[in-house]
């Protein structure tokens, strides 16, 4: 009956600019737009809906309650990291390894927490 997540929504003060950031920095494609809402799709089919926000952003920390980050899978961790670094992306951490997985946390165009991940082996 339940097939899984169809998309995750991010509220942004400028949905078009954030959708373009995901397109330009992470190779997502803008695949649908209506009334100022943008859907962006990654090469693996994962999709984000970027909607207009209302009000001011609350302060956030990496481990505050709620959804805390988006994990972007990459084939070549070092090349992806250098690509983002060369484009001036703000990193919250240096690259590190956890149980043979390579990770690094960074900010998207609105300051949301995102991380690159290269797993040594897929999760079961």
Domain CATH number, residue 84: 3.10.180.10
Do 10 and 33 sit in the same domain of this protein?
A: yes
Is 62 within a domain?
no
Quote the number of domains for the chain.
Answer: 2
The alpha helices in 12-76, defined as continuous H runs, are 15-26
Is 96 within a domain?
yes
pLDDT of the residue at 62:
83
Closest CA to 26 of 39, 13, 41, 6: 41
Collapsing DSSP states into helix, strand and coil, what is residue 24?
helix
Task: Say what the pTM is.
Answer: 0.92
Do 96 and 121 sit in the same domain of this protein?
A: yes
Do 40 and 75 sit in the same domain of this protein?
A: no
Parent domain of 106: 68-124
- pLDDT tens track of the chain, all 124 residues? 998 889 999 999 999 999 999 999 999 999 999 999 999 999 999 999 999 999 888 888 888 888 889 999 999 999 999 999 999 999 999 999 999 999 999 999 999 999 999 999 988 8
pLDDT of the residue at 47:
97
């Amino acid at each position: 009956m339940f097939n899984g997540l169809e998309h995750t929504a991010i509220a942004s003060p400028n949905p078009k600019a954030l959708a373009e950031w995901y397109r330009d920095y992470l190779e997502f494609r803008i695949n649908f737009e209506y009334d100022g809402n943008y859907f962006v799709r990654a090469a693996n089919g994962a999709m984000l809906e970027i909607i207009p926000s209302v009000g001011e952003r609350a302060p956030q920390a990496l481990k505050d309650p709620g959804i805390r980050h988006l994990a972007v899978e990459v084939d070549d961790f070092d090349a992806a990291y250098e690509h983002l670094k060369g484009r001036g992306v703000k990193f919250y951490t240096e690259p590190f390894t956890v149980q043979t997985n390579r990770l690094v946390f960074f900010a998207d165009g609105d300051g949301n927490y995102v991380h690159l991940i290269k797993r040594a082996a897929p999760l079961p």
